[in-house]
Amino acid sequence: MKKFLAALSGLVLATCVAQAAETLTMATEATFPPYEFLRGPEIVGIDVELSRAVAQKLGKEFRAENMDFDSVIPAVISGKADLAASGITVTEDRKKNVDFSEPYVKTGIVVIYKKSNPFTGKDQLKGKKIGVQGGTTSDAYVKEELKQEPERFKTPPEACAAMLAGRCAFVIADVDPARNCVKGEAALAISDFLSSEEYAIAIAKGQPELLAAVNETIAEAKADGRLARWIVDYTAESDRLKDGGSAVVEPTPESVGRSGLAAWLDEKWTALREDFYLCFLKKAADGSSRGMYLVNGLSITLQVALASIVFGLVLGFLVAVIRSSHDKYGYFTVLNALCKIYLTIIRGTPMVVQLLITYYIILRSVESKVLIAILAFGINSGAYQAEIMRAGIVSIDPGQMEAGRALGLSYWRTMIRIILPQAIRNVLPALGNEFIVLMKDTSIVGYIALIDLAKGGDIIRSQTYSVYLPYLTVAAVYLILVMTMTWLLGLLERYLRNTGANPVHNDS
């Protein structure tokens, strides 16, 4: 146990130190071509090149972090990232919280609409359901200019998919990603500019050297033509990525007119096969297919779930022993009080909030998000496992403890060798339940931009506009995981039941 804890704290420390100042971290939301988008697992785009050039100027390593757009500016304010480059529009409100570089692009927001519902002018927007990416200037436009609440989505493609599915009437977004959404989408079109904007890089306030380095980089990239080249190259690349990328087809008079069950089934079957190919198999420029999001995501889900189950078990065991020893024999008064505070706080606050607090506040200098997730989930699950194990411990006859002590075993040895094996056997079904809940709960790690199984499916959905296959596949994989776990727990239960009823007499 001591070794485990020592190793764990060593790991935490090592990761803290590893995140030394030699890395320049860029915060971004990579569903925004050509400024930032995913090429396989890699984040690429104009903003990435620009930020990498800043890192080069400073002689630092470079790393880009993908997160929700509304986390991008908080990331620089909290020090999680050094700069935010994410097609960020300079606004007066934002200037109060961060410093902006000189602008590097002039652009603006537009309306994306279905050709079947043509957009004729601003007045038409009032009172309609309007999709936007949350936290963006489009979001602000709907609130401030139209004086209404928008429908907020995590990414612009998601907002478009929602419009195609009939969930909103129009979408407002920045012109370049809007063009990309519309590309290859025969049913969609974009309007003229609603307003004009400028993009700049944001950094935390009070860093004149960094700001100067960013500004110099921008000026140089403009002067030597690199910026112009990136714009051309990445626009071309994101256009290519989008080619054949749509799976959402609006019904046309021809398709509706075709009748006959066989023709219908045939059409569906072909569509499904194409969709499957697009979602999982089609190779991107770098040779990887989208299916890899699920494969890699599964590995993250398993790592986080299994490690936090083990960590939770250790923690839960300690807390349970302390609490029940206190209740039965009056031992560990102070520790018991601490355990009670721990249980109250952990069980009284939502897991997502705990995860966010761990990521942004408690372990903000820890780089490994997997480690952060394991600690957050382990600490959370420990609280529930503790109470389950405590129930198991108090259910064991006090005579067992007396017998162990009479045999000359110490208190802890009796606990570990005699009480606990019986207690665990009794509460195994309840513990198993907790493991299952934990395994599925890890699907919220997307909040800290970790790409697990659920987030992987979500990324595929956002890139292909296809909803059925990515989500249903993810659901099926979770189901298989949980069924496998239930089966293994069943085996363990049977094994424990068969290996003697009482470890004392069994001399285990």
Question: Peptide bond before 253: cis, by omega within 30 degrees of 0?
Answer: no
State which of positions 238-257 bind ligand ARG (CB under 6 A).
none
Find the part of the chain contacting ligand ARG (CB under 6 A) among 17-25, 29-37, 201-209, 479-487: 29-37
Among 32, 141, 170, 359, binds ligand ARG (CB under 6 A): 32
Tell me 90's DSSP state: P
Find the part of the chain contacting ligand ARG (CB under 6 A) among 83-91, 384-392, 393-401, 437-445: 83-91
Beta-bridged to residue 153, according to DSSP, are 133
Which CB sits closer to ligand ARG, 95 or 413? 95
Cβ(30)–Cβ(155) under 8 Å? no
Q: Is 87 in the site for ligand ARG (CB under 6 A)?
A: yes
Q: Is 136 in the site for ligand ARG (CB under 6 A)?
A: yes
Q: Is 131 in the site for ligand ARG (CB under 6 A)?
A: no
Cβ(115)–Cβ(93) under 8 Å? no
Find the part of the chain contacting ligand ARG (CB under 6 A) among 81-89, 304-312, 406-414, 455-463: 81-89
Determine phi and psi for 259, rounding to 5 degrees.
-115, 180
Instruction: Quickly count: other Cβ atoms within 10 Å of residue 495's Cβ.
Output: 10
Determine phi and psi for 408, rounding to 5 degrees.
95, 10
Which CB sits closer to ligand ARG, 82 or 434? 82
The residue with tokens 């569903």 is 31
Which CB sits closer to ligand ARG, 36 or 367? 36
Those residues whose C-beta lies under 8 Å from the C-beta of residue 180, and which sit 6 or more positions away, are 33, 34, 238, 239, 242
Smallest separation (angstroms) from ligand ARG to the CB of 77: 15
Which CB sits closer to ligand ARG, 199 or 293? 199
Q: Is 100 in the site for ligand ARG (CB under 6 A)?
A: no
Which CB sits closer to ligand ARG, 151 or 434? 151
The residue with tokens 């069980």 is 347
Task: Please state, in angstroms and rounded to a whole number, the distance separating the CA atoms of residues 320 and 390.
Answer: 5
Among 29, 65, 151, 387, binds ligand ARG (CB under 6 A): 29
Smallest separation (angstroms) from ligand ARG to the CB of 89: 4
Token representation of residue 198:
């400028």
Find the part of the chain contacting ligand ARG (CB under 6 A) among 28-36, 76-84, 159-167, 453-461: 28-36
State which of positions 384-423 bind ligand ARG (CB under 6 A).
none
Q: Is 137 in the site for ligand ARG (CB under 6 A)?
A: yes
- Angle of helix 226-242 relative to helix 175-182, nearest 10 degrees, comes to 30
Among 27, 36, 211, 452, binds ligand ARG (CB under 6 A): 36
Smallest separation (angstroms) from ligand ARG to the CB of 281: 27
Among 86, 101, 217, 246, binds ligand ARG (CB under 6 A): 86
Radius of gyration of the chain (CA): 28
Smallest separation (angstroms) from ligand ARG to the CB of 95: 12
Task: Please state, in angstroms and rounded to a whole number, the distance separating the CA atoms of residues 61 and 187.
Answer: 44
State which of positions 53-72 bind ligand ARG (CB under 6 A).
69
Smallest separation (angstroms) from ligand ARG to the CB of 122: 19
Quick note: the x/- pattern for ligand ARG over 149-188, rule CB under 6 A, is -------------------------x--------------
Smallest separation (angstroms) from ligand ARG to the CB of 30: 7
Those residues whose C-beta lies under 8 Å from the C-beta of residue 127, and which sit 6 or more positions away, are 148
Residue 244, helix vs strand vs coil: coil
Those residues whose C-beta lies under 8 Å from the C-beta of residue 38, and which sit 6 or more positions away, are 30, 31, 44, 66, 459, 463
Determine phi and psi for 297, rounding to 5 degrees.
-65, -40
Question: What pairing do the DSSP bridges indicate for beta strands 23-28 and 31-32?
Answer: unpaired
Task: Please state, in angstroms and rounded to a whole number, the distance separating the CA atoms of residues 423 and 415.
Answer: 10
Task: Please state, in angstroms and rounded to a whole number, the distance separating the CA atoms of residues 305 and 24.
Answer: 30
Residue 418, helix vs strand vs coil: helix
Find the part of the chain contacting ligand ARG (CB under 6 A) among 7-15, 26-34, 282-290, 336-344: 26-34
Which CB sits closer to ligand ARG, 24 or 90? 90
Q: Is 458 in the site for ligand ARG (CB under 6 A)?
A: no
Smallest separation (angstroms) from ligand ARG to the CB of 170: 16
Which CB sits closer to ligand ARG, 88 or 168? 88
Residue 88, helix vs strand vs coil: coil
Beta-bridged to residue 98, according to DSSP, are 204
Catalog residues that contact ligand ARG under the rule CB under 6 A.
28-29, 32, 36, 69, 86-89, 133, 136-137, 174
